[in-house]
């Protein structure tokens, strides 16, 4: 079929975009026509008035990690002078500050610390829930969960069940980057591979946990790697749908930060990394069109800035993300957009022509 018919059929839900078709659109379609089709799909799935957002804080409980991802500026190896593990008092203070500004969720994330066992994680979750019973705890990442399972010699599903019982409400989609081992072997050779990431998420879906998926582009990968990775996310969501599980409630994509220093690190000197405005919006629109079974798509203001994130709301995104009272990982790589007040977030959404709606992790509105 011709390009316009393909875009119309996908936007209207009458055709599922395949990898080869997505590649064709990536190469041939104009940015405006991709955006228009993605927006039509967004309106069909989520209406044309509301843009959701969340007030939360990303608390990094430790920066100790033994995985040595080549793109990570945040982690420190064990024994490093800047290595830390937050105390309960420090954690509690950060949560109190979050609640004081209307926050409803804590993203509790860290590294692969070789000395923190399951009992530490369980004790931390229980202590937080005992002190702050109303706070949502979306914690860790698939690779962190797998690391804890390896430390304990237990299955991923067992560990997730224990963590859920201790108060973990959801599992964020961190560590996804590009779900293609050709790329993962090059940029994070010690990190969890694609099948393992999917297996952890599959177990989380079976346990009824709130989950999300993500993608980081601009590692020097080809477009085919991006869409093959999106297909893995879509396939897993198909599994969840077939079981009647929640699966992935949302997806967010952002470019690698920062392209200026990674050419030699990744062995591709002189190759442009990251993504500019046009490429980000092009891929954002195609993510919306490709992921027909993931309802919500987020705009990435922390990496692209709020002005481009506002544009992304016309390219398929229906969520403006979270205020991120604190953020350490992306900012370590050089991003200057690391936190936002709720009033500012609502203002950006209004300026883009939408009605801001505060939500929780399950995308239910909060008055």
pLDDT, tens only, 188-226:
887 899 999 999 999 999 999 999 999 999 988 999 999
Given pLDDT bands bounded at 50, 70 and 90, which one contains residue 228?
very high
The superfamily CATH assigns to domain 16-358 is Aldolase class I (3.20.20.70)
Of residues 66, 61, 91, the one with CA closest to residue 80: 66
- CA-CA distance, 308 to 238, in Å (whole number)? 31
Of residues 319, 329, 342, the one with CA closest to residue 107: 329
pLDDT of residue 97: 93
**N residues, the chain:** 367
Please say whether the beta carbons of 99 and 135 come within 8 A: yes
Given pLDDT bands bounded at 50, 70 and 90, which one contains residue 336?
low
Name the β-bridge partners of 179.
Answer: none
Which residue stretches of 207-300 are H helix?
223-243, 277-290
pLDDT of residue 253: 96
Please say whether the beta carbons of 168 and 199 come within 8 A: no
Find the helix or strand (DSSP H, E) in which 136 lies. Answer: strand 136-139
Pick 261 or 117 by higher pLDDT: 117
Buried b (16+ CB within 10 A) or exposed e, 57-95: bbbbbbbbbebebebbebbeeeeeeebeebeeeebeebb
Which residue's entry shows tokens 């790589």? 333
- The per-residue pLDDT of the chain, averaged, comes to 91
Please say whether the beta carbons of 167 and 132 come within 8 A: no
- CA-CA distance, 48 to 43, in Å (whole number)? 5
pTM of the full structure: 0.92
């Amino acid at each position: 079929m011709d390009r316009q018919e393909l875009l119309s059929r996908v936007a209207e839900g009458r055709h599922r975009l395949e990898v080869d078709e997505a590649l064709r659109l990536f190469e041939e379609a104009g940015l405006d026509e991709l955006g228009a089709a993605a927006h039509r799909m967004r309106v069909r799935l989520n209406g044309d008035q509301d843009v959701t957002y969340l007030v939360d804080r990303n608390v990094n409980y430790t920066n100790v990690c033994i995985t040595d991802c080549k793109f990570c500026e945040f982690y420190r190896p064990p024994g490093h002078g800047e290595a830390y593990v937050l105390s309960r008092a420090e954690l509690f203070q950060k949560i109190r500050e979050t609640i004081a500004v209307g926050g409803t969720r804590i993203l509790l994330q860290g590294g692969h610390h070789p000395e923190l066992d399951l009992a530490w994680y369980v004790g931390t979750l229980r202590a937080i829930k005992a002190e702050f019973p109303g706070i949502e705890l979306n914690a860790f990442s698939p690779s962190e969960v797998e690391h804890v399972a390896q430390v304990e010699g237990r299955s991923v599903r067992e560990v997730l069940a224990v963590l859920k019982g201790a108060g973990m409400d959801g599992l964020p989609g961190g560590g996804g980057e590009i779900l293609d081992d050709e790329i993962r072997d090059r940029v994070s050779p010690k990190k969890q591979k694609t099948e393992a990431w999917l297996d952890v998420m599959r177990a989380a879906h079976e346990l009824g946990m709130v989950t999300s998926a993500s993608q980081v582009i601009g590692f020097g990968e080809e477009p085919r790697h991006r869409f093959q990775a999106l297909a893995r996310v879509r396939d897993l969501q198909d599994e969840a749908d077939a079981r009647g599980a929640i699966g992935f409630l949302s997806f967010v994509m952002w470019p690698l930060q920062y392209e200026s220093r990674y050419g030699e690190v990744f062995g591709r000197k002189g190759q442009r990394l990251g993504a500019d405005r046009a490429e980000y919006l092009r891929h954002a629109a195609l993510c919306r069109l490709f992921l027909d079974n993931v309802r919500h798509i987020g705009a990435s203001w922390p990496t692209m800035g709020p002005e481009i994130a506002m544009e992304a709301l016309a390219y398929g995104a229906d969520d403006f993300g979270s205020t991120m009272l604190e953020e350490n990982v992306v900012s370590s790589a050089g991003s200057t957009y690391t936190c936002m007040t709720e009033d500012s977030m609502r203002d950006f959404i209004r300026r883009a022509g939408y009605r801001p709606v505060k939500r929780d992790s399950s995308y239910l509105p909060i008055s």
